[in-house]
Structure 1
Amino acid sequence: MTLPELLAARAVADPDGVAMIVDGVGELAYRDWDARANAVANRLIGQGITGGDRVGLVFPASGWIEYAVAFLGVLRAGAVAVPLSDRLPAAEIGQLSAHCSMAAIVRDAAGSDVTPPPVVVRAGDPAQILYTSGTTGAAKGVTATHANLAYGLRAEPRYRAFRHSKHLVHAFPIGTNAGQMMLVNALGAHPAVVTLPRFTPGRFAGLIRKYRAGTVFVVPAMAIELINAGVEPLESVLLLGSAAAPLPSAVASELGGLFPQAMITNYYTSTEAAPAQTIMLFDPERPGSVGRPAAGGGVRVTAADGSPVGVGETGEVWMRSPAAPRAYFGDPRSGVFRDGWVRMGDLGYLDDEGYLYLVDRESDVVKSGAYKISTLKIEEALHAHPLVKEAAAFGVPHPVLGTVVVAALVVRDAVAPEEVRAFLGERLAGHEVPARLLTLETLPRNRGGKVDKRALRALS
């Protein structure tokens, strides 16, 4: 089943059912979504858009409903949707447009002819190009087929995910991989998907209370903000999912108090690997694990030459799912994709029960003197300090050692660097303790909510 087919089926089975709610903006029912997507598709076809053409989508954070309509309209026209943030500079939008040879850019969901367009969309056709956040280099366009986006979805109600919930709340940005998964949930899951134009911890908590949401998705930065804001416990939530980055175990423990009825769950995937993922229900016995493969997928850890490493040995993390794999636009034979497996760009290891532990991003490992130092391990230790709200570790050049570790902190109250180092000295080896500590008001982040370590290096 493709996403356009699934939308048509939901519009017939549940025409007045609410698919999506944007707080303070409006809501979208399946019948309206279906009809308006047809109108967008017919408008595009009338403008000369044909199968396989790339169409950019540029919408503001408050425009989730219009974006959802336009996205399905592009797919119904047989074209390829290219979601872009409206916060991108015009020059960057131009660069991405040129990179994938966009035929048009859509900024609204206008259209009048709601007749289903006479276009046949096949499961193997390209449907989406999603540009990565580019924290370690130039952004790359990741192409997904219709089969990839709709993997595992069924029209029958008994197969809909999150049936314990009437409402699912999130605050992921338009055009991110996590945001796209929420768009898919609005089509294929049981609850109405609820979001808000701009995340603040108070508004987000209020949204959860207003709808008595049973399912909530956040990124770790949002979870930390909710904890630090002193939000009262949110007892309606039965599933709290964290995505986009590893969830520090100290943060997961505190989330248990904020969401006392919820399973705290960490999802590990990437724009390149989706829908392959590992899922971890927080377990104090396995702090730091991101879980085991889900939904028939697989994970392996290899040496640089591709040969498998033993249990507990660190190597390159690869993932796969039974879904049609993704690929880089213009670079289909990239070494990131190999025989259905996707290289995650992370170093990690597997324990004897198949649980995956991440050691670090390959690009973030600090090589200092004779040592290779994991910034994730340092961040995990820093998050355990009672006065540390957020932390990020990164490497900077050093004339003798080559590179040394610096840590940037956001703190709850003033704390002496010597105290932090003494705290870390009880948890880390001497060479792992940061050579320098920076205290910042906030950590710089990219549009996907991940800490921008290139920006931190520039600040140091």
Structure 2
Amino acid sequence: MTPVVACPVTHSYGLICGVLAALQRGIAPQVITNLNPRSILARLRAVPEHLLYASPTLVSLLIRMLPENQRLHSVMLSGAPLPAPVLDQLRNRCLRVCQQYGCSEAGCVALSPDVTEPGQLGLPLSHVSVQAGGSPGQPDEILITVKATGQRIHSRDLGYFDQQGQLHFLARSDDTINVAGINVYPGAVEDVFLGYPGIREAVAFKQPDTFAGERVCLRFVADSEIDTDQLRQWSRGQLSPHQVPSLIEQVESISRLPNGKVSRRLLTESLSDKDQWEVPA
């Protein structure tokens, strides 16, 4: 397969996994600098047996624009949590979905060659040792040790190992929402709202709450206007009570950092004027 790198090569994912790994295998990667979706799809059509390196956000957009009679060959994801609806779309329109987990200090840490669950990161690679929680109900910080140097890396990511030894990601530790002592992982909330007809993007984040400590908030992008009261009522049938957002806002777009990631911290800070929100009873 020919690597097609549609992510910044100034970051470890694009540089180490997309470019350097290809050169190590004796393959010349194709680095895309024009991230216009139509341009990327044209490049992929020109390289039928491609391995596309991209973020889940970009791949989701490409899938929506992909003609019905076309499929992607193989996709490697990293850089952001993979929403469950995006994975479902990918598995229907792509021969293979892979996902890698890594960091600048250690490069690629774990790799899954066939992703069947959103947080599935695969088996750790041989140059590192990895510690994490023992189950979804008892996650812990993912700790990485580089064997050659003994360097210990605190990822600040929460994860766990399954019975097959595969590493799974749940959330960034500082993105976890503590509602009256119960942890809420943003991805679990977002996946539910992304299953609502017409919603294209959703991001859950936290706000301080006098009584519960923190509360769940949600911003979403949809194809048309959606009644947020009805949406909240619908979500009560899909989520546990502590997961239901108390604050829901429909927006035209969700702001992202230059690397394409969403900063939940900045979204929390953007709600400094709490008078703009009506908290439901």
Bin of the TM-score, shorter chain as denominator length: 0.7 to 0.9
Is residue 371 of structure 1 aligned with residue 182 of structure 2?
Answer: yes
Q: 2:85 is matched by which residue type in structure 1?
A: A
Per-residue CA deviation, residues 329-359 of structure 1 (Å, 9 max, x unaligned), is: xxxxxxxxxx444221111222222233323
State the 1:276 CA deviation. 1.8
Q: What is the rounded CA distance, in whole Å, between the counterparts of 2:122 and 2:194 in structure 1?
A: 20
State the 1:218 CA deviation. 1.1
1:276, 1:320 within 8 Å by CA — same for their partners in 2?
no
State the 1:267 CA deviation. 1.2
Per-residue CA deviation, residues 364-421 of structure 1 (Å, 9 max, x unaligned), is: 1112233222112212222233322121111112233332111111223332223432
Q: Which residue of 1 aligns with 2:103?
A: 270
Match of 1:388 among 179, 184, 199: 199
Q: What is the rounded CA distance, in whole Å, between the counterparts of 1:207 and 1:346 in structure 2?
A: 34
What SS does the aligned partner of 1:343 have? Answer: strand
Q: What is the rounded CA distance, in whole Å, between the counterparts of 1:391 and 1:340 in structure 2?
A: 36
What SS does the aligned partner of 1:359 have? Answer: strand
TM-score after normalising by structure 1:
0.54
1:320–1:233 CA distance, 2 compared to 1 (3 A) = farther
Q: Which residue of 2 aligns with 1:218?
A: 54
State the 1:250 CA deviation. 1.5
Q: 2:82 is matched by which residue type in structure 1?
A: L
1:420–1:395 CA distance, 2 compared to 1 (3 A) = same
Q: What is the rounded CA distance, in whole Å, between the counterparts of 1:417 and 1:228 in structure 2?
A: 25
Q: Which residue of 1 aligns with 2:141?
A: 316
Q: What is the rounded CA distance, in whole Å, between the counterparts of 2:72 and 2:245 in structure 1?
A: 40
Q: What is the rounded CA distance, in whole Å, between the counterparts of 1:282 and 1:444 in structure 2?
A: 28
What SS does the aligned partner of 2:183 have? Answer: strand
Q: Which residue of 1 aligns with 2:64?
A: 228
2:14, 2:53 within 8 Å by CA — same for their partners in 1?
no
Q: Which residue of 2 aligns with 1:334?
A: none
Q: What is the rounded CA distance, in whole Å, between the counterparts of 1:212 and 1:232 in structure 2?
A: 16
1:245, 1:268 within 8 Å by CA — same for their partners in 2?
no
Q: Which residue of 2 aligns with 1:208?
A: 44
Q: What is the rounded CA distance, in whole Å, between the counterparts of 2:192 and 2:8 in structure 1?
A: 29
Percent same amino acid at aligned positions?
A: 23
Is residue 449 of structure 1 aligned with residue 260 of structure 2?
Answer: yes
What SS does the aligned partner of 1:277 have? Answer: strand
1:348, 1:357 within 8 Å by CA — same for their partners in 2?
yes
Q: Which residue of 2 aligns with 1:243?
A: 78
Q: Which residue of 1 aligns with 2:237?
A: 426
State the 1:321 CA deviation. 4.9
State the 1:361 CA deviation. 0.8
2:198, 2:224 within 8 Å by CA — same for their partners in 1?
yes
Q: What is the rounded CA distance, in whole Å, between the counterparts of 1:320 and 1:214 in structure 2?
A: 32
Unaligned residue ranges in structure 1 (runs of 5+): 1-164, 303-308, 326-338
Is residue 293 of structure 1 aligned with residue 124 of structure 2?
Answer: yes
1:169, 1:215 within 8 Å by CA — same for their partners in 2?
yes
Q: 2:217 is matched by which residue type in structure 1?
A: V
State the 1:236 CA deviation. 6.1
Trace 1:49-64 onto structure 2 (pairs within 5 A). Answer: none
Q: What is the rounded CA distance, in whole Å, between the counterparts of 1:341 and 1:278 in structure 2?
A: 19
How many residues align? The count is: 270
Give the superposed CA RMSD: 2.5
What SS does the aligned partner of 1:413 have? Answer: coil
Q: Which residue of 1 aligns with 2:279?
A: none
Is residue 397 of structure 1 aligned with residue 208 of structure 2?
Answer: yes
Between Structure 1 and Structure 2, whose CA radius of gyration is higher?
1
Per-residue CA deviation, residues 134-182 of structure 1 (Å, 9 max, x unaligned), is: xxxxxxxxxxxxxxxxxxxxxxxxxxxxxxx2x3212112411122122
Q: 1:314 is matched by which residue type in structure 2?
A: P
Q: What is the rounded CA distance, in whole Å, between the counterparts of 1:191 and 1:264 in structure 2?
A: 20
Is residue 180 of structure 1 aligned with residue 28 of structure 2?
Answer: no
1:177–1:208 CA distance, 2 compared to 1 (3 A) = same
2:82, 2:118 within 8 Å by CA — same for their partners in 1?
no
Per-residue CA deviation, residues 34-70 of structure 1 (Å, 9 max, x unaligned), is: xxxxxxxxxxxxxxxxxxxxxxxxxxxxxxxxxxxxx
Q: What is the rounded CA distance, in whole Å, between the counterparts of 1:417 and 1:404 in structure 2?
A: 17
Match of 1:194 among 30, 53, 60: 30
1:246, 1:268 within 8 Å by CA — same for their partners in 2?
no
State the 1:457 CA deviation. 2.2
Q: Which residue of 1 aligns with 2:90?
A: 255
1:266, 1:290 within 8 Å by CA — same for their partners in 2?
yes
2:160, 2:169 within 8 Å by CA — same for their partners in 1?
yes
Per-residue CA deviation, residues 89-112 of structure 1 (Å, 9 max, x unaligned), is: xxxxxxxxxxxxxxxxxxxxxxxx
Q: Which residue of 1 aligns with 2:277?
A: none
Q: What is the rounded CA distance, in whole Å, between the counterparts of 1:400 and 1:177 in structure 2?
A: 41
Trace 1:306-385 onto structure 2 (pairs within 5 A). Answer: 313-322=138-147, 324=148, 339-385=150-196
